[in-house]
Copies of this chain bind each other. A is one copy, B any other.
Amino acid sequence: MSLDQFFAPQSIAVIGASRKPGKVGFEILAGVIKSGFPGKVYPVNPTCEEVQGLKSYPDLKSIEGPVDLAVIVVAAKQAVSAMQACADKGVKSAIVVSSGFKELGPEGAELEQSLVRTAKTAGIRFIGPNCIGILCPATPLNASFAGALPRPGTVGYFSQSGSILAAMVDMSRAADIGFSKLASIGNKADIDEMEMIRYLGDDPDTQVIAGYLETILDGDEFIRQSERISRKKPILLLKAGGTKAGAQAATSHTGRLAGTENAYECVFERAGVVRCESIKAQFDYARAFAYQPLPAGPAVGVIANAGGAGIMATDAIEREGLELAQFTPETTARISLIMENAAITHINNPLDLLGDALADRYEFAMRAVLDDPNVQSLLILLSPHAMTECLATAEAIVRVAKEMRDKPILACFLGASRIEEATGVLRTGRIPSYDSPESAVAALRTMVQYSKWRSRPKRIVRLFPVNRRKVERILERHLRTDQLELGEMDSKEILQAYGFVTPPGGLANTAEQAANIATQIGYPVVLKVWSPDIVHKSDFGGVKTGILNEQEVMDVFDLMMYRIPKKVPNVNILGITVERMYQHGREVILGMTRDPRFGPLMMFGMGGKLVEVLEDVAFYPAPLTSSEAKEMLVRTRTYDILRGVRGDEGVDIDAIAEALQRLSQLVTEFPMIKEMDINPFIVGREGMTPIAVDAMMTLEKPK
């Protein structure tokens, strides 16, 4: 459904309109009136005949004409009957400003549910409750108490926090941001962040979607929709409320390493969503996206009139992973024409036009640098010296930018009062301007990343032929008997069904049996305890590697049988597995944890015992494409080891990527798998089959 009726209605009723300044019912009505809203405005207040110069209606039904949008400002307890009145009047859109609902606890939550039921029955869509309203500068309409209407523009904004929205609106003028639509979505009882994102995604007046969120209600939907919409418009989110809690309860390495932050980070990345670290960063990025084209790549040209700012920009470019463009000889020759009197011998990037650079030198240099095919974006720095023409330089930048529209141009004029007028010119000329080289470069970096995301190839998830039935049987048996932790043996059987190779070996119940198995499969072997009570076997001396002969096998068997029950009282040991040991190759970990919001997150990293110490891991939401799987590898330091370091041979990278995709298929097809590790997963050189040496898995009952 389109939410147009909220932002450009023909008529508005304010239920709970007040005559007392300071009251929300006063401020909302005053906002509507002051904003110059062109439609009809009906204050509803049974206690008086006139409110703020308008005729007051005792109730909704007394209003003669139709009402497109109702703003409900009454106390929480009367909100449900106000909603019912909307239903009776045939109102289809409402904003419930009233607070006192879910945010106050169970009683409020119940009230909120009645509100939802009443609205749903009547087919009413509503924003709130516990919100501060909506604004639309183009209509113009200010049905909020967020302060004065900001100026019109192309940024669509929604916020879960009313106070943050109010602050944003107040700061937007100085920060040079104009808006298409703004909404405070409050408790999100009906219209939530996803619906806002979808609506703004389709809204022709919105070019950049921005929002403040504390929670995301439907993670799956968030990924799917954001990914679709990010292809058209950037989505800039300020996500507050990261917390470490929750990760502690996990049994797998993967689950323990995931954490909320990792989940948001990889989900945002998958969906192309630009994450903003602060309100200021969000403004900084919004300005760049709203006013400038996307850069084709990371190569930045920098023009300055002093060394200091250029050095700071260079530092920032290096830190943010961008590049200083290499000027072509043609560009260098062209620039040398205007620099001939200056005493520099080399024309480099950053290009220092020197302290006596007037506007004409800036203009000439801008054209030369923008013409350079090696330059993909331009950053213009200006430090006000005694003779610097700040204003004329700003005008020149705007002029050139109007002619040369294919590369993004960002500016940073250092100073305050001396550059105030000039930055005003930049602002009206749609040149995003920043208070420091670092902020400008950070904005450029997000543009480069988003641009790269937009041009990624279509996602194709490969489906491998697997033995799905076998896995179904194993999992069903476990769920039926409430055995939610799968040990090594069962986990490996499942992995085999999905094309993984596990080491040859067998289960022994006596020392002699163990020795027999070892002799059959060949030395060296590994002995591992098998017990449903022990997940991380090495914590309790339950793993012994590098066993070289029969005698040693029997000694180790007996020692484990004797020692482990001392460490884990009442442990149920089902036997000891004897497996062929793989000495050549690298140990990595493949894993998955199911995030409560976003579903299965895949993990790859350096394996072995030290995985949680080194934390050299990468996460990405399943299902994985082949290039996503490879990208996960590349993200880690482990990748350098896998490619071969210091005389060591590299390993089969593609085999790991394929294994990650197979695992991704497994966890996508079986949503009851809650978390799992394959650790170590041993990979050898190209052409060698990698081996899933150990694995564990936990299940959750389908709800």
Residues of A within 8 A of B (CB): 22, 24, 27, 100, 104-105, 145, 147, 159-164, 166-167, 170-171, 173-174, 212, 214, 240-244, 277-280, 305-309, 311-312, 314-315, 318, 343, 345, 355, 383-387, 414-419, 435-436, 438-439, 536, 538-541, 609-610, 612-616, 637, 640-641, 645-648
Contacts and interface: CB of A to CB of B under 8 A. Distances in A.
A242 to B, nearest CB: 5
Given A277-B438, A648-B609, A383 B308 contact: no
A117 to B, nearest CB: 23
Given A345-B105, A417-B173, A438-B278, A609 B646 contact: yes
Nearest to A26: B386
Nearest to A239: B315
Contacts of A435: 280
Contact of A541 (B145, B416, B647): B647
Tallying the copies of this chain within the complex gives 2
Contact of A161 (B164, B308, B641): B308
A673 to B, nearest CB: 24
Nearest to A609: B646
A234 to B, nearest CB: 21
Closest 6 CB pairs of A and B: A161-B308, A163-B383, A163-B306, A167-B414, A170-B415, A164-B308
A318 B241 CA distance: 10
Contact of A167 (B244, B415, B616): B415
Given A212-B308, A383-B164, A540-B647, A637 B609 contact: no
B645 A240 contact: no
25 contacts: A105-B345, A160-B308, A161-B308, A162-B306, A162-B385, A163-B309, A163-B355, A163-B383, A164-B308, A164-B414, A166-B415, A167-B384, A170-B384, A170-B416, A170-B418, A170-B419, A173-B417, A174-B416, A214-B307, A240-B308, A240-B312, A241-B311, A242-B318, A244-B318, A609-B646
A314 B279 CA distance: 15
Given A22-B387, A170-B416, A539-B647, 8 more contacts: A161-B308, A162-B306, A162-B355, A167-B384, A170-B414, A173-B416, A214-B307, A240-B312
A436 B647 contact: no
A308 B214 contact: yes
A613 B645 contact: yes
Contacts of A386: 22, 24, 27, 145
Contact of A641 (B244, B305, B311, B610): B610
A147 B641 CA distance: 55
A289 to B, nearest CB: 20
B385 A166 contact: yes
B637 A163 contact: no
Between A170, A306, A540, A616, the greatest number of chain B beta carbons within 10 A of the residue's beta carbon is seen for: A170
A647 B438 contact: no
A416 to B, nearest CB: 5
Between A145, A173, A419, A645, the greatest number of chain B beta carbons within 10 A of the residue's beta carbon is seen for: A645
A242 B415 contact: no
Contacts of A214: 307-308, 311
Contacts of A312: 240, 278
Contacts of A416: 170-171, 173-174
A383 B647 contact: no
Contacts of A244: 318
A240 B438 CA distance: 11
A384 B163 CA distance: 7
Nearest to A616: B614
Contacts of A415: 147, 166-167, 170-171
Contacts of A418: 147, 170
A201 to B, nearest CB: 24
A163 B385 contact: yes
Contacts of A242: 315, 318
Contacts of A541: 647
A436 B171 CA distance: 11
